A and B are shown apart, each in its own frame.
Chain A
Amino acid sequence: MAVTKPLGLLVCISLLLSVLTPARAAVLPADRADVMYHSYDGGGVKIDGPAVLVRKSITDDVSVSAQYYVDEISGASIDVEVLASEYAEERTQYDVGADYLLNKTIISLGYSNSTENDYEADTYSLGISQDFFGDLSTLSLSFALGNDTVKKSTDPLFEEDKTTQSYQFSWTQVMTKNLLMNFIYHVITDEGYLNNPYRSYRFLNGSSVGWLTEKYPETRTSHAFAVRGRYFMPYRAAFGFEYRRFNDTWGINAYNMDLSYTHPWGEHWIFDVHYRYYSQSDADFYSDLFPSADFQNYMGRDKELSTYTNNTVGFKISYEIDTGWSHDWLEKASVTLAWDILSLDYENFRDARRDDLPPGTEPMYSFDADVVRFFISAWF
């Protein structure tokens, strides 16, 4: 596995930067705790649960963080309705991380574990962040290695592996005293079993249709580039924008853009509204209905591999709580409600539940989803 080479490279770069950089302090993330309830409801599926994130400095130059996150899944998506395949009913994730401050450099280490009854994922990450040019620029490099085990609840003997490597380059730049920009280039490679073992492709079988387990390539490499900006308005408010392009070796091209506006009101309230548009083309081996069972080497019918768009409108309201009662133990606290509405419209994924219609003539599938977050935050 080509892991030691990039890891060694990152360590060399971090040492080089820390030696060559004149001393001036960068800043560790603030001490903070968040308790959140999250809910996704759409396409026949409801996923909700808690999340807790705590970050605390343990010395002047070391900050540690820990997160606990749960997805409780219920309902039946269109894939379940068509094929009666099963879902994991709960996913639990633990994250721990540490940041070490060395002059203008921050070195970060992280570990994440995600567990379902039919999926196990471990991810290790290493990152370095460095301030330049009178602290007008911040360069960040990060590397992550993921080892996943894919299982199948209906087949106790089924077990496959998947390895993921991730390389990210990020540049944040102060453009003017009111404009901040961020550029990110991110490469991710996967190797191993990349299918969803429950999903099937459909094919013409005489006058009817047949279903067989999907066949995916065993590797995937993707490239994503994003540019983001935040602009401070002439009054106290911020305008945000984002544009991201994506392509991968499966032939998928995608882009998304996001516009946001943040407006504080009085001393306690912050209102935020945003609109996001996402569009992607389908994978080379995607088809809603293949002409035959062995039409080509790789065949998939995941709706996530099809051509579609996603429109999102989101609102967020935050209220800062008075913490005078805490005798300065709490620096600040807030309660936040956020609600996004997603609208996904598929252009070549048909609603196969309509078995009253001839195969290939069913209407295109679409659905809306509500995504709600409610959380309490405390800075200490």
Chain B
Amino acid sequence: MLNTMPARRHIKHFHLYPLLALLGLLILSGCSPIKPWVKPYERNNLADPIMSFSMDPVEAGYMHHVYQAREAARGAEGGGGGGCGCN
């Protein structure tokens, strides 16, 4: 088992093709109008600062660091970007 573990894995062949396919679909979907089901004037609640995924970036970054140093899991912590189109 462990004795047969390869010394180096093929990390260069990371599969980006599903991601590209999804992006292609997204770009194509931009050709047909999609009506937003939540109108801009209905986004007051989403624009409230308490709805932010990361209200305080300096503190969120620190907590990610605390967990990364003590847990093997890493990545997908989030905290970046907005996205509700509220402004």
A232 sits at the interface (CB 8 A)? yes
Query: Tally of A-B residue pairs with Cβ under 8 A?
Result: 216
**Residues 58-87 of chain B, each 1 if its beta carbon lies under 8 Å from chain A, else 0:** 110111001100111111111011111101
Chain B residues whose C-beta falls within 8 Å of the C-beta of A127 in the assembled complex:
80
A352 sits at the interface (CB 8 A)? no
| B contacts, CB < 8 Å to A | 1-3, 5, 7-9, 11-12, 14, 16, 19, 23, 26-27, 29-30, 34-38, 40, 42-43, 45-46, 48, 50-53, 56-59, 61-63, 66-67, 70-78, 80-85, 87
| A contacts, CB < 8 Å to B | 2, 6, 9, 13, 16-17, 20-21, 27, 29, 34, 36, 38, 40, 51, 53, 67, 69, 127, 129, 131-140, 142, 165-170, 172-174, 176-178, 180, 182, 184-189, 191, 217-219, 221-226, 228, 230, 232, 236-238, 240, 242, 244, 246, 248-250, 252, 254-256, 262, 264, 270, 278, 280, 283-285, 296-298, 304-305, 310, 336, 338, 340, 342, 344, 371, 373, 375, 377
Q: From DSSP, what is the main secondary structure of chain B's interface residues?
A: loop
In the bound assembly, the distance between CA atoms of A104 and B15 in angstroms comes to 27
Let me know if A304 and B7 touch, CB within 8 A: no
Q: How far is the CB of A120 from chain B (nearest CB, A)?
A: 17
Let me know if B58 and A375 touch, CB within 8 A: yes
Let me know if A2 and B12 touch, CB within 8 A: yes
Residue ID in chain B nearest A13 by CB atoms: B23
Residue ID in chain A nearest B49 by CB atoms: A270
Residue ID in chain A nearest B12 by CB atoms: A2
Return 5 A-B CB contacts under 8 Å, by A number.
Answer: A21-B30, A177-B42, A180-B84, A217-B5, A230-B52
Q: How far is the CB of B22 from chain A (nearest CB, A)?
A: 8
Residue ID in chain B nearest A263 by CB atoms: B50
Residue ID in chain B nearest A93 by CB atoms: B65
Chain B residues whose C-beta falls within 8 Å of the C-beta of A133 in the assembled complex:
34, 36
Let me know if A246 and B78 touch, CB within 8 A: no
Let me know if A170 and B62 touch, CB within 8 A: no
